[in-house]
Amino acid sequence: MAKKIFLLLLIAGFAFSVHAQKNTRPEMMFGDTTRTGAPFSKDPHVIKFEGRYLMYYSIRPYKDTSNPVQGWGIGIAESTNLNHWEKCGEISPSAEYESKGLCAPCAIVIDGKVHLFYQTYGNGKNDAICHAVSNDGIRFTRNATNPIFHPSGQWNCGRAIDAEVIKFKNQTFLYFATRDPDYKIQIQGVASAPLNTSFNRDQWTQLTDEPILKPKYPWEGFCVEGASIVQQNNVLYMFYAGAYNNDPQQIGVAKSTDGVKWERLSNKPFLANGDPGSWNCSESGHPHIFKDDNGKTYLFFQGNNDNGKTWYISNIEVFWDEKGPYLKK
């Protein structure tokens, strides 16, 4: 009888554990519903500016096709604690080169201004990186030389998306995703500009004639994209997305001491998609690693459990030791 009771308790405990695991929601689950009524937020990037956190993210076109604002856009949300966010702005296409849409933002604060880098959308091989600047983080003025960058060479198709801009070793680095000439495999490239650059088109120099990172392991499928980089001491750590959306896309990490040559830390994902039934079972993708003023780092990422019908943004704290970043279980 005791054994039977023990077995029943064991089964009940296992069932509760699975149920709890499937229904666990992180403290942060942000989904912008303003355009379509369904939660949809992708490609997060976070900064701290004038005493608050600002998050920039991609939003899909309005469901109402009669709306004068067409194409993909960039949403802006604010927070005081990194977990609870309220939408406070939106950036929509306004120039001819971005008329089909814009998305995948990257923001950096320099001398009290927010510099935003983003990609045009819907132009295939002609999509490129653009730049804008703002005094308040909400209203932006476009760079007159936009688009400011697209890659050259036989190793890529000419497209540039998913900008990441950092300052490192007296240079400004621009990381971007592109595709091979056959437009099948997503790969990573890098360009540089002077430390005190204007970010204009003529400032950028492509640093390699080959990818700095391309798919290698089975979990990366045919895609590495969405690079986000943080400096720890004298080392750069790149958090990147492997595989195309919902394949599932998962997050890996590579490191570099010069910003050009990169070495993966593992042949497995750093942050995998969730278990079946969890909020991010379709993917954990497009990372952004944010370093706060106190030195703590948080990995923002997108996820969903319905193969992309909805998209949420969440975050998780990243810890560090002599081997690099790790997550607490």
CB neighbour class for 287 (10 Å; exposed up to 12, middle 13-18, buried from 19): buried
Per DSSP, the residues of 125-182 read: GG--EEEEEESSSSS-EE-TT-S-B---STTS-S--EEEEEEEETTEEEEEEEEE-TT
Per DSSP, the residues of 107-136 read: EEEETTEEEEEEEE-S-GGG--EEEEEESS
Please report which residue ranges of the chain form alpha helices under DSSP H: 2-23
* pLDDT above 70 coverage of the chain, percent: 93
Distance CA 174, CA 164 (A): 6
- Where exactly are the structural domains of the chain? 110-326
pLDDT digits (tens, 9 = 90+) for 66-79: 888 889 999 999 99
Distance CA 98, CA 161 (A): 13
**Owner of token pair 């204009």:** 200
Distance CA 325, CA 270 (A): 9
φ and ψ of 195, to 5 deg: -60, -45
pLDDT digits (tens, 9 = 90+) for 78-118: 999 999 999 999 999 999 999 999 999 999 999 999 999 99
Q: What is the pLDDT of residue 329?
A: 80
Q: Does 182 have pLDDT greater than 60?
A: yes
Number of helical (H) and strand (E) elements in the chain, helices listed first = 1, 20
Q: Does 13 have pLDDT greater than 50?
A: no
The sign of the CA dihedral 188, 189, 194, 196 is: negative
pLDDT digits (tens, 9 = 90+) for 215-252: 999 999 999 999 999 999 999 999 999 999 999 999 99
Structure tokens belonging to residue 165: 């801009």
Distance CA 150, CA 125 (A): 10
Q: What is the pTM of this model?
A: 0.93
Q: Does 16 have pLDDT greater than 70?
A: no
The sign of the CA dihedral 285, 49, 319, 86 is: negative
Find the mean pLDDT for residues 119-130: 97
CATH number assigned to the domain with residue range 110-326, chosen from the 4 options 3.30.200.20, 2.115.10.20, 3.40.50.12500, 1.10.10.60: 2.115.10.20
Q: What is the pLDDT of residue 66?
A: 81
Q: Does 20 have pLDDT greater than 80?
A: no
Q: Does 128 have pLDDT greater than 60?
A: yes
